[in-house]
Amino acid sequence: MFGATGFGNKSLFGGSNLSTTASTTATATQNDDFFVDGAPEDTIQVIKFSPQPQDKPMIACGAWDGTTRVWMLNDSNNFEGKAQQNIPAPILDICWTEDSSKIFLACADKEARLWDLASNQVAVVGTHDGPVKTCHWINGNNYQCLMTGSFDKTLRFWDMKNLPNQTQMASLTLTERVYAADVLYPMAVVALANKRIKVFNLENGPSEVKDIESPLKFQIRCISIFRDKQNQNPAGFALGSIEGRVAVQYVEAANPKDNFTFKCHRSADLVNGYQEIYAVNDICFHPQHGTLVTIGSDGRYSMWDKDARTKLKTSEPHPMPLTCCDVHSSGALMVYALGYDWSRGHEGNTQPGSKIVIHKCVDDMKPRVPKK
């Protein structure tokens, strides 16, 4: 699956702030959390589990130093470094193909790239007039394509059937820059810099079905689609902002009260007479339970049951902000990254580098059974 340079090279991820080896360390951070060795030297912007194989999950991350790295779970239940690519621009987003053989990269140099893990080759597969902020692989009923969102205020769709001679299927002009996006076929949601959220139906090509104003007053940081209560079809999305607040929004709410916001990632005590408020950097839903995890600039992750409107768990503080996360499709594991997110300016960058942590989350994210 991987190119020849991918296996058995212990210097592959050399220079990491954690270790020169390339497998999970035996050092726990808190509870059952474990570091993954070989994290990038700069902040990790995005981290994702592979869709396949289920029993040997892989992790890929993209960082501001232009590196994309891949780890695989080995027979010793360690995540072992397998491959790395260096791009001459920060990586702002990544996504896997459904067979986990390739990874798309959204890059700050206005290009979207495709990394073929078998050949270890990288090719440009899409371009914009501004940094590419998001990328999502759409595996539809009658078509496949890459969706990219950019600071150039466009959303573009790329046909990959004739690589390397891919073609642009569609380009949609938006009212503002793309800050965040998510896809759960047949729904796509795109959050813009003017706090508008565009909702698209992807079934027969992209078709805008709704334009929603964010219920949050401040800048959008992240967005994640959730399924209905039968865990079958996409029903709505959760939106996170820089102001320590999350909005839960149904696209077609049966009752307006189904849409609500809640506060999170704020200091429990006053600091110099004020409550400290932190950005929500990422949101991810549990694939089976439908609960969600939020991660923040306060260095904590919190788990929530949106249906019961209760908090399930909050972690102890980590020494750095948490920047991104993902939950494996089995629901057993969560991965999250630590790194500086510039929320406190240049003077706050006292711990350069990044860390990757694995957390066993299946029990933490189970909805609580109400006491009778």
Note the pLDDT tens digit of each residue in 130-153: 999 999 999 988 889 999 999 999
Q: Is 187 helix (H, G, I), strand (E, B) or coil?
A: strand
Instruction: Using alpha carbons only, give the angle 167, 169, 170 rounded to the nearest 5 degrees.
Output: 130
* The pLDDT of residue 15: 33
Cα 118 to its chain centre, rounded Å, is 24
In this structure, the number of other CB atoms found within 10 A of the CB of residue 89 comes to 17
Query: Contact, 337 vs 47, CB < 8 A?
Result: yes
Instruction: Enumerate the β-bridge partners of residue 302.
Output: 294, 314
Find the CATH number of the domain harbouring 108.
2.40.10
Edge-to-edge strands, sheet with 132-139: 132-139, 144-150, 154-159, 167-173
Q: Is 208 within the bounds of a domain?
A: no
Q: Is 329 within the bounds of a domain?
A: no
* 147: amino acid identity, one letter: M
What total of structural domains would you count in the chain?
1
Note the pLDDT tens digit of each residue in 228-282: 989 899 999 999 999 999 999 999 988 989 999 999 999 888 888 888 999 999 9
Q: Is 182 within the bounds of a domain?
A: no
pLDDT higher than threshold 80 for residue 330: yes
Phi, psi of 347 (to 5 degrees): -70, -20
Q: Is 131 within the bounds of a domain?
A: yes
Q: Is 112 within the bounds of a domain?
A: yes
Note the pLDDT tens digit of each residue in 153-174: 999 999 988 776 778 999 999 9
Encoding tokens for residue 6? 């991918």
Phi, psi of 89 (to 5 degrees): -170, 155
* The pLDDT of residue 364: 94
Query: Contact, 180 vs 223, CB < 8 A?
Result: yes
* The pLDDT of residue 259: 96
Residue ranges making up the domain that contains 91: 87-172
Query: Contact, 367 vs 308, CB < 8 A?
Result: yes
The model carries a pTM of 0.90
Q: Is 97 within the bounds of a domain?
A: yes
Cβ neighbours of residue 257 closer than 8 Å, sequence gap 6 or more? none
Q: Select the more confidently predicted residue: 31 or 283.
A: 283
Distance spanning both ends of the chain, measured CA to CA: 52
In angstroms, the CA 239 to CA 241 distance is 7
Cβ neighbours of residue 254 closer than 8 Å, sequence gap 6 or more? none
Question: To the nearest whole percent, how much of the chain has pLDDT over 70?
Answer: 90
Question: With b meaning 16 or more CB within 10 Å and e meaning fewer, what string describes 334-346?
Answer: bbbbbbbbeeeee
Q: Is 108 within the bounds of a domain?
A: yes
